[in-house]
Amino acid sequence: MEIKTIGVVGAGSMGNGIAQVAAQSGYNVIMSDIEERFVQNGYNNIDKFLAKSVEKGKMAADQKAAIMGRIKTTTKIEDMKDVDYVIEAVFEDMGIKKATFKQLDEITRKDVILGTNTSSMSITEIANATNRGDKVVGLHFFNPVPLMKLIEIIHGFNTSDETVKVSFDLAKKLGKEPIEVKTDIPGFVVNRLMLPHMIEAVLLYQDGVASKEDIDKAAKLGLNYPMGPFELMDLTGVDIALNIANYFYQELNTEVKWSAPRMMKDLVKAGRLGRKVGKGWYDYGK
C-alpha cells in the first residue's frame, strides 16, 4: 500500500507536531480539528518552528515553503475521505476517541489504517468503535514530536501483522525509531515507566521531603534525565498526567501505586495545567 497523504486528526501540540514531521518527510498532510482557531494555532506553531530552523541555517526558506505547502487544514473530518493513513491525536478521553474512530471508519476507504496517538488507553477498545479492528493500531509519538525519536507501535487484540509492518515502515520514513508493544496494556512501555516517577515525585513534595526544584534537580543530576518530573508534567500537561493516573488506577486492579496524589488533583482543579496555560507546578510568565 502506497502512502501519499496522511490525515492528522487533532491540531494540538501532538497533532501539529505529527503533521509537521509528516510534511517534512515528503507526505501531503490534511490536519483537522473541531474549530478553526485550533487548526490555525496548530498551523502557526508549525510555521514558527520551521522559521527558527531557517534562522539557524538548518533549512532553506524555499524548503520551509515547500513543507508548509504540503499541509492543508480543515475543520471537517469528512475531508479525511481520500487520505491513505490516519493518525488521531485528539484529547486523551476514551469517549472522544471512540466517537472519532467511528466517524473515521465511516469516512475513509476500508483499506486505510487508523492509528491512534493515545499515550495509555486501550487500542482494542478504540478499535471496537470501527468495523476494521485489524487495521487499528497504536502509534504513540512523544512530545515535542519533531525532536523526539521514539514511536511506540502497539498491537490491539485484532491488529494484523500487516498493519504493524506498514506502521513500522511509515515510522522509519518519518525519521523515527519504532518499538513494538506486543500487548495492549494500559500505558504501554514508556508511560508504565514514567508515571510511577511522577507520582512518587508529587508524594515526596506533598510530604515535605524536598522542594519540587530539588526533586527535579535530583532526577536530572542523579538519574541523568533531561528534565525533572515536575518540569515534564508541566510540558506535557498536568491534566494529562492526572488522566493517565486515574486510567491506570481504574484498569490495573486499583493498585494503590497508581492513585493520583492530592496535590496533583488540586493543581488541575486550580487550572494550573502546565506550560500550555502559563502555569503548572511552576510559573512561566504568560
Closest-CA residue to 147 (of 265, 262, 49): 49
Structural domain boundaries in the chain: 5-181, 190-277
Q: State phi, psi for 248 to the nearest 5 degrees.
A: -60, -45
The CATH architecture one would assign to domain 190-277 is Orthogonal Bundle (1.10)
Q: State phi, psi for 113 to the nearest 5 degrees.
A: -80, 135
Residues 6+ apart with CB under 8 A from 85: 3, 5, 6, 7, 112, 113, 115, 166, 170
Known catalytic residue: 152?
Answer: yes
More confident residue, 110 or 246: 110
How many percent of the chain have pLDDT more than 90? 84
Residue 201 contacts residue 229 (beta carbons within 8 Å): yes
Catalytic entry in 120, 140, 155, 231? 140
Other beta carbons within 10 angstroms of residue 220's beta carbon come to 15
Distance (Å, whole) CA 80 – CA 40 = 18
**Residue 73: its pLDDT value, please?**
98
Catalytic entry in 45, 119, 167, 243? 119
Catalytic entry in 152, 155, 231, 243? 152
**Reported CATH class of domain 5-181:** alpha beta
Known catalytic residue: 191?
Answer: yes
For residue 91 the three cell numbers come to 484529547
Known catalytic residue: 78?
Answer: no
This prediction has a pTM of 0.85
**Terminal alpha carbon distance of the chain:** 46
Known catalytic residue: 155?
Answer: no
**Residue 278: its pLDDT value, please?**
93
CA 78, chain centre distance (Å): 22
3-class secondary structure, 138: strand
Query: How big is the chain, counted in residues?
Result: 286
Q: What is the pLDDT of residues 20-64, one digit of tens each?
A: 999 999 999 999 999 999 999 999 999 999 999 999 999 999 999
